């Protein structure tokens, strides 16, 4: 029977990934120290390397993209609400 699946906090993942990036210990040593499988450590290290640019970025690029997407969604909601109102008043209902 399998045990309960563990969920790790982002702070813990960052701590383990940073320790892996340092390179002063092997994956086996880190795995034993943090009680985490070596594949998870490799995945977290890769995620940290791939997304490290967002840590120091202003986030403005993402904010403007989110605002544009939100504006499109609001327009779509408005159009669907208008269509629902029109169809609710249609004869034969």
27 Cβ neighbours under 8 A, 6+ residues apart: 20, 38, 41, 42
| Cα 17 to Cα 45: distance, rounded to the nearest angstrom | 5
Out of 19-23, 38-42, 51-55, 79-83, least confident range: 51-55
Tokens 């399998």 sit on residue? 2
Mean pLDDT rounded to a whole number for the chain? 89
Residue 60 has pLDDT above 90, yes or no: no
Number of CB atoms found within 10 A of residue 88's CB: 8
Q: In the predicted model, what is the mean pLDDT of residues 51-75? A: 80
| Cα 70 to Cα 76: distance, rounded to the nearest angstrom | 10
pLDDT-derived band at 2 (thresholds 50, 70, 90) equals confident
Alpha helix (H) residue ranges in the chain: 10-22, 27-34, 38-56, 60-88
Per-residue model confidence as pLDDT tens digits over 7-46: 999 999 999 999 999 999 999 999 999 999 999 999 999 9
């Amino acid at each position: 029977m399998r045990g309960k699946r563990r969920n790790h906090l982002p702070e813990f993942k960052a701590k383990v990934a940073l320790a892996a990036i340092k390179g002063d210990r092997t994956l086996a040593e880190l795995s034993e120290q943090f009680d985490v499988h070596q594949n998870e450590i490799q995945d977290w290290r890769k995620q940290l390397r791939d997304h490290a640019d967002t840590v120091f970025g202003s986030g403005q690029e993402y904010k403007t993209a989110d605002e544009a997407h939100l504006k499109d969604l609001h327009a779509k909601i408005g159009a669907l609400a208008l269509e629902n109102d029109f169809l609710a008043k249609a004869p034969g209902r």
